[in-house]
Amino acid sequence: MAANRFEATKYTGVRCRSHKTRKHGVQFDKYYVIRYKVNGKLKEEGLGWASQGWSPAKAYKIRSEIVTNIKLGVGAQSLKDFREAKTEKERVKRVEMQARKTFSEAGGVFIEEYSKNNKKSWRHDCTRFRLHLQPVIGQIYLDDLRLKHIEELKSVVTKKGLSKGTIKHCLTLARQICYYAIKRGWLTGDNPVKGIKFPKPNNRRLRYCSVEEEYDFFEMAVNMGYSECHDICLLSLYTGMRMGEIFALTRQDIDLVENRIIIKGRSGADDGPKAGGSRVAYIIEKIRPMLENRLALFQGREALIFPKPNGGIRKCIGPDFATLMKHLGWNDGVTDRRLRFCAHCFRHTFASRLIAKGAPLTVVKKMLGHSNIQTTMRYTHTQDEQCRDAAQLLL
């Protein structure tokens, strides 16, 4: 082929010319053009060099599409149209890629916009998201997220030795993030967590406090000078309040005239403080002197009854309880967490004693602030002696 002259190729309508000096491989670089007719007039358009990726076959494919589109009167009908369409397609793809979110990005927005404003447990969400979800599925784009990725997440957190309850919480958080992404339009189709099988944790506590243990615990607390730990546990034992509810109590919540304690929940809910609503606990003589003494220590109506040393709200009962357990030896050699004695066992004891005394489950449910009767029924299993006595009635 003579240098710098266009010559025909074996492909109809495709011509090329060789560069005078530049090589592409062992041959001179070639420049390709295509020819076709528009309204009976011949039109020629340049494509590019072989060194830019062009070939006779590729040029022929473009020409064939243009000729077909001209005949049908649709689509790109010139090389310029093709290039503009390609540029627009690439622009749309860039916009779509910028709009796509990874699971990590969606999770961060979920926690900031929803979890912090609507969930008491949002700090747990932050921890589970950072430690367990992000490392496994954080970098996956939402639209690429599949059931197999969630199965992998479940497998990874299981191999970490986490409890069934924690694994369930991790999967629940992943599901909530995906539903939030669907609502925001970041994820299309079904929630990928929808088909996962959640573990069923057994957190039912089997430990409660006997009358003898009650005496030993509070006597030791007094002797060791752990007055706050003593008072917190006493309040839980005789009102059934959760630790978090006790820590949030202020002076104005306690009414010694009406003998009641207002347990405040979040505004707008009505199923107990754990779910967000409010309820009432009742002051009996067992706890009245203790409350009178504590109220005398604080003058402000909004002052916390059991503050931390710096005046802030407590997050846990503190080390004194652990010291008491160590001295009493109640948890020595006990590996099953359901059988270990913890501060929550005083609330458990409150419910168990009420049921043993014949209090209706619906009443106990209301006093505990449970959202459903099934949760309250967990406390009925402690009454084995009553079952044995009932069986003797058949003799």
Over residues 101-111, the pLDDT tens digits come to 899 999 999 99
pLDDT of residue 272: 42
Q: Against a cut of 0.85, is the pTM above it?
A: no
For residue 34, pLDDT beyond 80: yes
Structure tokens at 98: 């910028």
pLDDT of residue 15: 94
Instruction: Say how many CA atoms lie within 13 Å of 221 toward its Cβ.
Output: 20
For residue 270, pLDDT beyond 50: no
For residue 263, pLDDT beyond 60: yes
Instruction: pLDDT band for 355, please (50, 70, 90 cuts).
Output: confident
For residue 309, pLDDT beyond 90: no
pLDDT of residue 336: 80
Over residues 82-97, the pLDDT tens digits come to 888 777 776 666 555 5
pLDDT of residue 282: 93
pLDDT of residue 91: 66
Vertex 126, ends 120 and 129: CA angle to 5°?
130
Tokens 């008072």 sit on residue: 231
Q: What's the Rg (C-alpha) of the chain?
A: 37
Q: How many of the other CB atoms lie within 10 Å of CB of 347?
A: 23
Collapse the DSSP code of 159 into the 3-class scheme (helix H, G, I; strand E, B; otherwise coil) and give the result: helix
Share of the chain above pLDDT 90, in %: 51
Instruction: pLDDT band for 17, please (50, 70, 90 cuts).
Output: very high
Sign of the CA dihedral with 250 first, then 255, 261, and 266 last: negative
Whether the CB-CB separation of 196 and 154 falls below 8 Å is answered with: yes
- Rounded to the nearest angstrom, the gap between the alpha carbon of residue 294 and the centroid of all alpha carbons in its chain is 39
Q: Which domains, from first to last, does the chain contain?
A: 7-97 (no CATH), 103-184 (1.10.150), 211-392 (1.10.443.10)
pLDDT of residue 384: 58
